[in-house]
Amino acid sequence: MKTQTYTLNLGPQHPSTHGVLRVVLELDGETCVGSKTHVGYLHRGIEKILEDRTYPQVIPYTDRLDYLAGINNNLAYVQTIEKLMNIEIPERAEYIRVMLSELMRIASHMVGIGIYIMDLGAISAVFYPFIEREKILDMMSHLSGSRMTFNYLRIGGIAHDLHPDFKPALDQFITEFPRFIEDYHRLIDENEIFIARTKKTGAITAEKAMSYGLTGPNLRASGVNHDIRKTNPYSIYDRFDFEVPVGENGDCYDRYVVRMKEVEESFKIIQQAYKELPNGPVMAKVPKLIKPPVGDVYHQAENPKGVLGCYVVSDGTPKPSRVHFRRPSFNNISIFDEIFIGHKIADVVAILASFDFVLGEVDA
Amino acid sequence: MEFLNNIFVYIAQWIRETLAALGFTPVWVEMGMGTVYLVSILGVCTLAALFYVLWERKLAGYIQYRPGPNRLGPNGWFQTVADAIKLLTKEDVVPCGADKPVHLLAPVFIFVPTVLALAVVPFGKGMAAIDLDLGIFYLIAVTSLSTIPIFMGGWGSNNKYSLLGAMRAVAQMISYEIPLVFSLLGVVLITGTLQLQGIVAAQSNIWFVFLQPVAFLIFIIAATAETNRAPFDLPEGESELTAGIYTEYSGMKWALFFLAEYCNLFIVSAIGVTVFLGGWQGPLLPSWVWFLIKTHLLFSFFIWIRWTFPRIRVDQLMNFGWKFLVPLSLANVFITGIGVYIYYNGLGW
Amino acid sequence: MENKKKYQEMLTGKFGDNVVINAEKPYELYANATNLLEIVEFLKTEGLNFLADISSADYKEFFEVVYQLYSFDDSDHLTVKVKLTHDNPQVTSLTSLWETADWLEREVYDLMGITFINHPNLERILTWEGFEGHPLRKDFVSKSGRK
């Protein structure tokens, strides 16, 4: 019998492309035999816009890269500038920065895991992580007045000290969160269908992952122990005791496991930072007009999605000559075209979801 | 008590006598009664769908720590009515390039097997519209028809997602028809009748779920697959195929598909109750109340499954159906056959 | 830091004048555009096995393409820069060494207009196919006149 392949346009409007990713699949029945990923539907030209902004004005734009983890982006950018200007920031600000970054990592992973399981068909599984995320977003809105686009960190510290409402909310979160982790493990980990769908699906070898520039949980799931917080500690991450979870097979199941473990490690860091939180000022003495010296600097930070690199070129004026972001999701999803081949449509969706990418970051 | 138990039977009798008293010939009386039955079945169909759409949303809300619909009417109980009105007033969109007659007829046809199946369901003692001798056989024959309108919908929409969904639906429904039939056969072997009232009557001492636990399990799984519900909702598979066969349907056409899905699930629950859970039998309460309670519980069980499990993949679905469920159900029939033979004939030595 | 000295000594020994070490920043070096592929390939075999990023900057007189190399083995970081003329910005593609270079170079090509020789699929990635010009160049003027 003569058969032929056909083209299926997955996205940009599709429930499981997490926004506006477009994948053109060449299908033989249900099996994918060819794939081409198109990005750029959310391109806002942030890097061009930033040429016309002063250094502090850049911070709100970083919120909109990986909009699920704004604080982490803020942190990477302000640290780049601090590195360029050699600013020492106060202890208390460092602790608060780390604490908030880890809270955001939990919030981001909650979305990642929840949406991932939902795309596998278990719709209820998205609601439990979102409840936890909601608690974090509530805390953050106490601090910054905004749920997702915080603009809370400043070059030289943080905008203002912790809000009085923040501490009770964090106390409550710390007492309630372990219960959620336990429940969620019971719900998902040994679910027969979940295992059947994710084990050996979209497996990536360590070499492939490194060659394609994967970072973050997606790289660690393939068995590469690489976490900038451990290998090249920035801020005060070297003071905390935490593990870097690593997977074995690099399949969809491992990506879930690594994220879940990472959430627990972040929770450990939060508890430590909260306990040791010192008193003092939260802003260093920085000039009113921020004019870094001529030069360029590259700084990397471990974001929930992977390594966020920030490259800033300064020409000595109050506006940066060039700001470039290495967006982890952009590198992560470049592997899609290769790993989709040979999988069923349902697996393609599972792989898409297991990568936990954010289009705001991919397209910049 | 006796009156309450037979209230619907009395009503039917009264209508019949009134029609006769009005001077209609017996042929016309039968025609009149047929119309009454049809109207009441359609009523049950619509009411069940309207109620269960909301019930599912409420229950899903409960499972997911959220209130569910709670705005319109007391506790949001009129939400489905509002939704239905909204859907009725929406524009009827036919995608360009669609096979128009097929596309338009599919949502209509999907209701045919549903209504046909409800005709033989015994809602209570003496309360089946038609009590066929071949009840189960008829049910299976009629429900398997629902593959055709689903395929029509997928084919006629001129959309690749729809077509994929339709292909999946056909493969899945044909594969799971077989274990479904075999699971019912075990019970038929024990009772020796295909008549649904007879099967219910045979369960006066013990429900067949205790005699045929494996068959009941197979029935639940196969029925979930037959009604295209999660974890077997591949034809719809919203995260993969946007909405599968329903992708191009909107407004009233979509509402018909949606209502039919709930009616089908209601029928499947009703069959499960009739065959395995003692039908309308139960103490104290009127028979039809017992029937509704049991059906409601089984329906809620299906809802619970749907909101808990991830979706299975298409090749895993086929493997599971052909390599596990079919052999298991065959073995079940075989062992039941031996058991029945021994029960009636002794061991023969 | 010692590792970086090691790379620098090896590089200057092997490539001579084609590599210029930045005196102020020990983790930074300038490579000659024609020799880039060999230099980076050498660095890759020496342990800098991860291409973290490719970025670019427009200094009006010339372009700079900036490669961030990283080593998983000893957590080392090295920046390789290439200067390109404004008239004919061309550099060899690194897609033969790392597959991530594919998308990263496409992004640089799209936004800065630098051509990568031997790139298998050099087309626009973030902007649309019919887009004119390369927005990150300093002399880029948008059609709408907005900056």
| Chain B: closest CA distance from residue A330 (Å) | 22
Question: Which A-chain residues 58-117 have CB contacts (< 8 A) with chain B?
Answer: 117
Supply angle C-alpha B124, B130, B136, rounded to 5: 85
Chain centre to alpha carbon of residue A113: 12
User: Is B293 at the interface with chain A, CB within 8 A?
Assistant: no
H/E segment holding residue A254: helix A252-276
Domains along the sequence of chain C with CATH:
2-92 (3.30.460.80)
Edge to edge, the sheet with strand C28-31 lists: C19-21, C28-31, C77-85, C62-70, C50-58
Q: Which of A48, A210, A213 lies nearest to residue C135, judging by beta carbons?
A: A48
Instruction: Report the amino acid identity of residue B261.
Output: E
User: Is B7 at the interface with chain A, CB within 8 A?
Assistant: no
pLDDT reading at B244 higher than 50: yes
Q: Which of C52, C111, C128 lies nearest to residue A307, judging by beta carbons?
A: C52
Q: Which of A210, A307, A330 lies nearest to residue C103, judging by beta carbons?
A: A330
Nearest residue of A to residue C54 by CA position? A326
Out of A212-226, B26-40, B56-70, least confident range: B26-40
Residue listed under structure tokens 């850049």: A58
pLDDT reading at A361 higher than 70: yes
Could you read off the pLDDT of A284-323 as tens digits, one per residue? 888 888 888 888 888 888 889 888 989 998 888 888 888 8
Q: Which residues of chain C have pLDDT under 50?
A: 1
A124: three-class secondary structure by DSSP = helix
B94: three-class secondary structure by DSSP = coil
Q: Are B55 and B268 in contact (CB under 8 A)?
A: no
Mean pLDDT of chain B: 83
Residue B347 confidence class, pLDDT cut points 50, 70, 90: low
The two tokens of residue A66 are 């990986």
The two tokens of residue B5 are 């138990």
The two tokens of residue B170 are 């056909």
User: Is A344 at the interface with chain B, CB within 8 A?
Assistant: yes
d(CA C122, CA A278): 52
Mean pLDDT of chain A: 88
Percent with pLDDT over 70 in chain A: 100
| Chain A: closest CA distance from residue B242 (Å) | 6
B23: three-class secondary structure by DSSP = coil
pLDDT reading at B349 higher than 60: no
pLDDT of residue C145: 63
pLDDT of residue C98: 87
Percent with pLDDT over 90 in chain A: 2
Nearest residue of A to residue B60 by CA position? A124
Could you read off the pLDDT of C38-69 as tens digits, one per residue? 888 888 888 788 888 888 888 888 888 888 88
Enumerate the β-bridge partners of residue B305: none
Could you read off the pLDDT of A67-92 as tens digits, one per residue? 888 889 999 999 888 888 888 888 88
- What does B65-78 look like in DSSP terms, one character per residue? TS--S-SSSGGGTT
Could you read off the pLDDT of B97-156 as tens digits, one per residue? 888 888 888 888 888 888 888 888 887 777 776 777 888 888 888 888 888 888 888 888
d(CA B337, CA B335): 5
d(CA B15, CA B6): 14
pLDDT of residue C90: 86
pLDDT of residue C1: 47
Percent with pLDDT over 90 in chain B: 0
